[in-house]
């Protein structure tokens, strides 16, 4: 039995331990219930949790969220924090799509006002926001200097160019700009790939989804977030496009050499890394910040085109649509943060790969607008079911370095999903459920069919019952554009 293979021990109903052995430096901790643990053991992601536990300077535990599945190096849904002096930074702990993330927008509109106009809404969004492999904007060509300014300033650059307002920035993690970005460390190839892709969705699981608030679990917090029953919402899910992919690819080569140079023993070559304070470690962090800032700018510009699309499709003014960000969170990032270790405040480099910050009320990095309730946590599901809005907790800050899950998590590879969808019309199936979908290709819809994902409700219930996030609202989809 797989459980014996990993010597898994039950801590409580929602946490499981893989005890430290051999060259592991810490235990592995998995957030799951019994049913989810069985699902998780169908791939090699638990072996990746063990592999991460071998890395130098790891603090606490190698953590896995309930949406965990196999990834490059770290599992997707993996969290690990490293000591700034003895620890390492690894591109495999961030992923290829640096700062892939989610932005939630609220509106002044209600479901009843748009439900008969969804065709116009989804068609206008699809025409206005380029999607699909290699998608680019014909109306936006960045000069090399402009692009470097994007990498340095993130969403602030977009706002300075008229794509949104300064108020938007108050509702983005890091206010839409990670400090320390150095565009000179980004290769010409990465810059070339990013030049025409700003303001685009890309492919795969990226999307813009129009939905509505179907359930509210905490009235007071929902009110603080500006969410009300049947209010129309928009979720934007995309990242740093080809530029982020290239930054990761470039630095994997650097880190393979660095691992040899610093005699770092790796259980898996995909965990190639460098000491945080080494030249290679510092350069990766500065280049990663560039890609992260590109992603913040990307979601900011898409927000601008979402606003335009709603005004055009519904013939409403900005004053009537009132589209404002609730929050924007990173899913793939390594952050320098302060945490309590053995009773003392300590700076750590926290890798979250397919995981979200879940900071509590009154934390210095929780946005001012949400100080009293905690940082919003945005957990998208699949295009056929629902998504969730939660907030961060003290328990997350003490137990998981302020981290929680990031989505439903895949249970099928893209090939499996394509086989499952064979002979079916996924767009028609969704239409029969009242959900309109537009995609760059039929293959995209087949790869992303709802059954390809875990049930997001089960994932969210685990993180809430474990105390590392608190449920606020459920969102149901009305129409979706896919990459």
What does the pLDDT look like over 216-259, one tens digit per residue? 999 999 999 999 999 999 999 999 999 999 999 999 999 999 99
316-353 pLDDT tens trace: 999 999 999 999 999 999 999 999 999 999 999 999 99
Q: Is the pLDDT of residue 106 over 90?
A: yes
In three state form, how does the secondary structure of the chain look? CHHHHHCCEEEECCEEEECCCCCCCCEEEEECCHHHHHHHCCCCHHHHHHHHCCCCCEEEEEEEEEEEECCCCCCEEEEEEEECCCCEECHHHCCCCCCCEEEEEEEEEEHHHHCCCHHHHHHHHHHHCCCCCCCCCCCCCCCHHHHHHHHHHCHHHHHHCCCCCHHHHCCCHHHHCCCCCCHHHCCHHHHHHHCCCCCCCCCCCCEEEEEEEEEECCHHHHHHHCCCCCEEEEEEEECCHHHHHHHHHHHHHHHHHHHHHCCCCCCCHHHCCEECCCHHHHHHHHHHHHHHHHHHHHHHHHHHHHHHHHHHHHCCCHHHHCCEEEEEEECEEEEEEEEEECCEEEEEEEEEECCEECCCCCCCCCCHHHCCCCCEEEECCCCCCCEEEEECCHHHHHHCCCEECCCCCECCCHHHHHHHHCCCCHHHHHHHCCCEEEECCHHHHHHCCHHHECCHHHHHHHHHHCCCCEEEEEEEEEEEEEC
pLDDT at 292: 98
Q: Is the pLDDT of residue 3 over 60?
A: no
Q: How confident is the model at residue 137 (pLDDT cuts 50, 70, 90)?
A: low
Q: For residues 396 and 37, what is the distance between their CA atoms, to the nearest angstrom?
A: 20
* 141 against 144, higher pLDDT: 144
Q: What percent of the chain has pLDDT over 70?
A: 98
**Residues 27-34, mean pLDDT to the nearest whole number:** 98
359-411 pLDDT tens trace: 999 999 999 999 999 999 999 998 889 999 999 999 999 999 999 999 988 88
Q: How confident is the model at residue 135 (pLDDT cuts 50, 70, 90)?
A: low
**Residues 423-440, mean pLDDT to the nearest whole number:** 92
pLDDT at 2: 45
Q: Is the pLDDT of residue 85 over 60?
A: yes
Q: At residue 108, what are phi and psi to the nearest 5 degrees?
A: -95, 15
pLDDT at 1: 40
- CA 94, 95, 97, 100 torsion-angle sign: negative
Between 241-261 and 279-314, two packed helices, what is the crossing angle to 10 degrees?
170
CA angle 68, 427, 311 (to 5 degrees): 95
* Radius of gyration of the CA atoms of the chain, in A: 21
Specify the residue for token string 């709603």.
310
What is the set of domains in the chain, with CATH numbers?
101-482 (3.90.1860.10)
pLDDT at 202: 86
**Residues 27-54, mean pLDDT to the nearest whole number:** 96
Query: Could you say which of 69, 136, 363, 406 is catalytic?
Result: 406
449-460 pLDDT tens trace: 888 888 999 999
What is the number of other CB atoms lying within 10 angstroms of the CB of residue 448?
Answer: 26
* 73 against 130, higher pLDDT: 73
Active site residue 363: no
The average confidence (pLDDT) of the chain is 95
pLDDT at 132: 64
Mean pLDDT lowest for which of 100-114, 214-228, 359-373, 426-440?
426-440
- Please enumerate in sequence order all residues whose Cβ is within 8 A of that of 160, keeping only pairs 6 or more positions apart, or say none: 153
pLDDT at 254: 98
């Amino acid at each position: 039995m797989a459980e014996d293979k990993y010597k898994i021990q039950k801590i409580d109903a929602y946490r499981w331990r893989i005890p430290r052995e051999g060259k592991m430096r810490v235990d592995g901790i998995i957030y799951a219930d019994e049913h989810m643990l069985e699902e998780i053991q169908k791939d090699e992601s638990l072996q990746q949790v063990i592999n991460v536990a071998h890395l130098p300077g790891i603090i606490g535990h190698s953590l896995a969220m309930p949406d965990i599945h196999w990834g490059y190096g770290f599992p997707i849904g993996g969290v690990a924090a490293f000591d700034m002096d003895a620890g390492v930074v690894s591109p495999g702990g961030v992923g290829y799509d640096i700062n892939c993330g989610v932005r939630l927008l609220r509106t002044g509109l209600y479901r009843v006002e748009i439900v008969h106009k969804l065709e116009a809404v989804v068609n206008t969004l699809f025409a206005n926001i380029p999607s699909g492999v290699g998608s680019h904007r014909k109306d936006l060509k960045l000069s090399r200097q402009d692009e470097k300014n994007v990498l340095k300033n993130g969403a602030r650059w977009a706002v300075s160019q008229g794509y949104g307002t300064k108020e938007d920035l108050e509702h983005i993690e890091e206010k839409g700009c990670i400090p320390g970005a150095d565009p000179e460390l980004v290769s010409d190839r990465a810059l070339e790939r990013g030049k025409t892709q700003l303001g685009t969705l890309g492919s795969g699981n990226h999307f813009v989804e129009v939905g509505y608030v179907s359930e509210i679990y905490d009235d007071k917090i929902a009110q603080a977030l500006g969410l009300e029953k049947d209010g129309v919402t928009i979720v934007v899910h995309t990242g740093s496009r080809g530029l982020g992919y290239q930054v990761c690819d470039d630095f994997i080569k650097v880190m393979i050499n660095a691992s040899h140079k610093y005699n770092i023993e790796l259980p898996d070559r995909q965990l190639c890394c460098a000491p945080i304070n080494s030249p290679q470690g510092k350069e990766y962090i500065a280049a990663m910040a560039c890609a992260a800032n590109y992603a913040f700018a990307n979601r900011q510009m898409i927000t601008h085109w979402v606003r335009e699309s709603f005004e055009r499709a519904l013939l409403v003014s900005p004053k009537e649509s009132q589209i404002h960000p609730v929050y924007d969170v990173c899913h793939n990032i390594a952050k320098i943060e302060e945490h309590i270790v053995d009773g003392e405040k300590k700076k750590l480099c926290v890798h979250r790969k397919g995981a979200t910050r879940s900071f509590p009320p009154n934390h210095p990095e929780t946005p001012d607008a949400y100080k009293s309730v905690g940082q919003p946590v945005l957990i998208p599901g699949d295009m056929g079911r629902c998504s969730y809005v939660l907030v961060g907790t003290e328990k997350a800050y003490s137990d998981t370095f302020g981290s929680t899950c990031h989505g439903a998590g895949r249970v099928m590879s893209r090939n499996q999903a394509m086989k499952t969808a064979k002979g079916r019309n996924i767009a028609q199936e969704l239409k029969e459920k009242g959900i309109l979908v537009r995609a760059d290709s039929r293959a995209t819809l087949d790869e992303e069919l709802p059954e390809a994902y875990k049930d997001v409700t089960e994932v969210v219930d685990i993180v809430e019952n474990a105390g590392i996030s608190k449920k606020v609202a459920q969102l149901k989809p009305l129409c979706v554009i896919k990459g």
